Structure 1
Amino acid sequence: MEVRVVNTEQELKDAFEVRKVVFVDEQNVPFEEEMDEYDETATHLVLYHEGVPSGAGRFRVVEGIGKVERICVLSSLRGHGAGKAIMRKIEEVAKDQGISSLKLNAQTHAIPFYESLGYEVISDEFMDAGIPHKTMKKYI
């Protein structure tokens, strides 16, 4: 597995395709909600497994805090360290930018995954795109 910070048009297309498969096709998030205005300015990451785009995520800086968004892994690779690899790369990129804390809005079923990486729940449950979430934070 290799996680890359997106630097080419093809890598960006690959990241968007993984997001479409996971969020739009699998979780029924409307395409218009999944692809938003932040895609133009965010730092995107794409995970390749045996040359095939298999995971993605993005990272933005909002009011001095790193905001982790759109973390996804194709179902065939879940539970094999792909999500952790993406999150480690995001933390590395954030540290390189002088960011000392990260936050994210986790789907509630994914909270144990993020807790295993050191994130803590800091909000009550809320709905986003029809899916229950909680905000989580980590100091890096």
Structure 2
Amino acid sequence: MIRFITADQTLPLRSLVLRNGLPEAECIFAHDMLPSTFHLGYFDEKNELLCILTCMRENHGKIPKDAYRLRGMATHPDHRRQGYAAELLHAAIEHLKSQLGIEYLWFNARTIAFPFYEALGFGFISDEFDIPGIGPHREMYKYL
């Protein structure tokens, strides 16, 4: 089941999957609490949170219209390759299009995730760059 969650609910998976076990307090994004930011979670039948994402209003210089940025997408390591992340991302896109009227979604993707996002129709808008302590990334986007 997919539902809106709080920023605090994202922190355990952000820490585990995206920040190599950093304390949860160090996994908070500056935009987490803004009214325009939303967080989604994918829950299993036992109400365990398996996958998360955050979307925040943030324009990109290469995109000519208002856009949202995807941040902090993570799936628990024991539940990967089950389709949860794709379902969650589709739900976020539907919300952005139908409820918020947003036309573009962009983000910094880790190299390991390129095939996942490409399969969902996202394209590249940057060369590869390094985020210190996290690793190589490229910017990706999609017209919704």
Shorter-chain TM band: 0.7 to 0.9
**Structure 1's 127 and 31: CA in aligned 2 closer, same or farther, altered over 3 A?**
farther
Equivalent in the alignment of 2:119:
116
Task: Kindly report which structure 2 residues correspond to 1:89-100, keeping only aligned pairs within 5 A, or say none.
Answer: 89-95=91-97, 96-100=99-103
Q: Which runs of 5+ in 2 are unaligned?
A: 60-65
> CA-to-partner distance for each residue in 1:56-115, whole Å, 9 max, x for gaps?
110011131111111000011110001101111110111120001111110011000000
Q: CA deviation at 1:31?
A: 5.2
Q: Residue 58 of structure 2 contacts residue 68 of structure 2 at CA under 8 Å; is this kept in 1?
A: yes
Superposed CA RMSD: 1.8
Q: Residue 46 of structure 1 contacts residue 56 of structure 1 at CA under 8 Å; is this kept in 2?
A: yes
For 1:40 and 1:55, locate their aligned partners in 2 and report how far apart those are by CA, in whole Å. Answer: 19
* Runs of 4+ more than 4 Å apart: 28-33
* TM-score (norm. length: structure 1): 0.85
Percent identity of the aligned residues? 28
Q: Which has the higher helix share?
A: 1
Task: Kindly report which structure 2 residues correspond to 1:1-140, keeping only aligned pairs within 5 A, or say none.
Answer: 2-6=1-5, 11-24=6-19, 27=20, 34-41=27-34, 42-50=37-45, 51-63=47-59, 64-95=66-97, 96-130=99-133, 131-140=135-144
Q: Residue 29 of structure 1 contacts residue 129 of structure 1 at CA under 8 Å; is this kept in 2?
A: no
> CA-to-partner distance for each residue in 1:36-59, whole Å, 9 max, x for gaps?
221112211111112101111100
* TM-score (norm. length: structure 2): 0.83
Q: Residue 7 of structure 2 contacts residue 33 of structure 2 at CA under 8 Å; is this kept in 1?
A: no
For 2:26 and 2:69, locate their aligned partners in 1 and report how far apart those are by CA, in whole Å. Answer: 17
Q: Which runs of 5+ in 1 are unaligned?
A: none
Q: Residue 47 of structure 1 contacts residue 86 of structure 1 at CA under 8 Å; is this kept in 2?
A: yes
Counterpart AA for 1:136: M
Q: CA deviation at 1:30?
A: 7.0
